[in-house]
Amino acid sequence: MNTRNLYWAGACAHCHQGRLIFQNDMTHRRLYVHCEECEWGWLHPSDVGDAEKGFLTLLQNFDTGDPTLEEIQQSEWRNYLTGSLRL
């Protein structure tokens, strides 16, 4: 069984319950965060506190994967990393 190491960036401004999990958009080669509860997502750290600037990730048509810690640290999200979890 593979374990998934997930990294997250604070709480969701849309539902105020979920954590924002980092995900890779493999299709467009970019990093975004995605709420574990309501599936709301944000592309840029400057928008993450504003629910209206988010999007419903279920409606997006791109391939996703789990980013590594290195990928997060090399992105514009590096200062937003709050914690990690293992699934």
| Binding residues vs Zn ion (CB under 5 A) | 12, 14-15, 18, 35, 37-38, 40
Residue 14's alpha-carbon distances to 26, 42, 44, 50, in angstroms, are 24, 11, 15, 8
Consecutive H or E run containing 32: strand 30-35
Of 38 and 48, CB closest to Zn ion:
38
Of 24 and 57, CB closest to Zn ion:
57
Gap between the terminal Cα atoms of the chain: 10
Of 8 and 40, CB closest to Zn ion:
40
List the structure tokens of 66: 């789990």
Q: Shortest Cβ distance from residue 16 to Zn ion (Å)?
A: 7
Q: Shortest Cβ distance from residue 46 to Zn ion (Å)?
A: 18
